[in-house]
Amino acid sequence: MSEPRARANCLADVLRSLVGDSAQYVAGVVVMGLANMVLLPLYTRFLSPSDFGLYALIEVLALSSISVSGLGLNVAYLKWFASSAPDEVPRLLGTMIWVNGFAGIVTGAVLWMFLASHQSSRMLHGDTRGLGWLLLPLISFETLQGVLLTHLRARRRPGAFSAVSTFRLVTIAAFSIWLVAGRKDGLSGVFLARVLGDLGGCLVAWGLVSADVSLSASLSSALAMMKYGLPVVASSLIMMILDGAGRFFLNHYGNLEQVGLYAVAVKISGVMRMLVVLPFGAAWGGLMFQIAKRSEAAIIYSKIMSYLLVLSLSIALVFSLFSPVLLLVFATRQYSASLAVIPWLLLVQAVTVLQYPSATGLFLGSATKWLLPIFALGVAISLGLNRLLVPRFASLGAAWAWLVAWLVITILMASVGQRRYPIRYERKPLLVALAACAIVILASPRPVTAWSRGLIAPSIFGAIIMMFAIGYVWNDFRHFGALWSARTVE
């Protein structure tokens, strides 16, 4: 077999592995992310935009608190579990339960006290005093549930992991329908349903792992795991700031209704995150280092970056075309003002998925020390642009700030990585991607009142766009051997 053909076959093997691994992760990620997407139609039909805006702000605070209470032990536990003897595992798990359980109670109590104060009502522009007490059990249960699910991951029990996630989703949905739609309990019903669902998930997870649990703990193991895992907390909080900054600036310079409209747009664009970004990221983490072992690794990384660039932006364009229908599914015409923001937020998701191959040089070149300053700069840019743009452009300004921050982060990761592990990026896919970006920006979706009006035209144009994108990738792949042969001759 000729060298060019062998290299082409090598790329084909890598692409098949990447697509196959991503497809396997789709199911798990979809189950984990369905809680937000399934309940969004319920929330938007029984909560006003202002109430949904207040929910979106509290959600960011709750997720940040859960991330802090985790202390990064979910990552550390997997490492310690792999190197521990079987008889050491129960005590290791008990240590994690005690440490994370205490941290969850403390962070939950702090958030409870904040939401119960008059200062919270002034800062969030809404009355949260009746909701604060629900955040203590919510954060405690979700922190404990994270511990138990991490153990199931370590035990490599995906069926049990999915069972817990599914039971939690069904329980939250059932209680939400009863409390929010039936009893009209509003925001208190939203959070109470989540608490009850988390409690049910914890009980099911405990039943699955109770045989492995010891109530003893090791202080030395706790300190060692926290030292290993705390940097993960910093990166998680940075992601939260990038995600939530726009909501708080909108609340400060606008009102809760604007926050609610923006939050609905974020949730709808999250469909692409759930189906594309997270599965690819999960698959890429394991495959990146396998590719590095191949002699033609640099060209494979370059091709994957090129194909991902074209496909991700094409998918963003297709989702943008369908955004009026998605709004009809997940919200009501009361949230129609969100449509103008959705295309920009889909571009955010397209850029976000590019961070994975862009950071290749940093990981392979052992230059991960640059990740924190790069992300810190991205946060600073996000905060600065939100301060500059939100007072004038409202939700669009928040979306632009988020997009520019991720562009800077992605470009800097690729640029710094080039010095440690050079990758030759291609210009042609960039031009195709820029054309797709222009179409996304120029295609301003309009509200629809009927499925037929919102499906026919997007289906036709979406099929054309994806045929072009897939055709481009396939044509480039077919000529890969010849292109490589020509380069080697030169």
Q: What is the pLDDT along the chain (490 residues), one digit of tens a residue?
A: 455 555 555 555 555 555 554 454 455 555 556 666 778 888 988 988 899 999 999 999 999 999 899 888 877 787 787 777 888 888 888 888 999 999 999 999 999 999 988 888 888 888 888 888 999 999 999 999 988 988 887 777 767 877 888 888 889 999 999 999 999 998 999 999 999 999 999 999 999 888 888 888 888 888 888 887 777 677 778 888 888 899 999 999 999 999 999 999 999 998 888 878 877 776 676 567 667 777 677 777 878 888 888 888 889 888 888 888 888 888 888 888 888 899 899 999 999 988 888 888 877 777 767 878 888 999 999 999 999 999 999 999 999 999 999 999 999 988 888 887 777 777 776 777 677 667 666 665 655 555 555 677 777 887 888 888 888 878 877 776 555 544 444 4
**Residue owning tokens 């571009």:** 347
**Residue owning tokens 């094409």:** 314
How many angstroms separate the CA atoms of 428 and 309, rounded?
Answer: 11
How many angstroms separate the CA atoms of 406 and 354, rounded?
Answer: 10
- Token digits of residue 167: 């039971």
Nearest CA among 313, 311, 272 for reference residue 436: 313
How many angstroms separate the CA atoms of 61 and 120, rounded?
Answer: 12
129, 121 in Cβ contact below 8 A? yes
Distances (CA, A) of 413 to 270, 363, 375: 23, 10, 9
Question: Which residue type, as a one-letter code, is found at position 162?
Answer: S
11, 303 in Cβ contact below 8 A? yes
Measured distance between the N- and C-terminal CA atoms of the chain, rounded to whole angstroms: 21
- Token digits of residue 226: 């926290």
Question: Which residue type, as a one-letter code, is found at position 58?
Answer: I
Question: Which residue type, as a one-letter code, is found at position 396?
Answer: L
367, 361 in Cβ contact below 8 A? yes
267, 52 in Cβ contact below 8 A? no
pLDDT at 399: 94
How many angstroms separate the CA atoms of 172 and 178, rounded?
Answer: 10
User: Which pTM was predicted?
Assistant: 0.82
pLDDT at 86: 82
Q: What is the DSSP letter of 117?
A: S
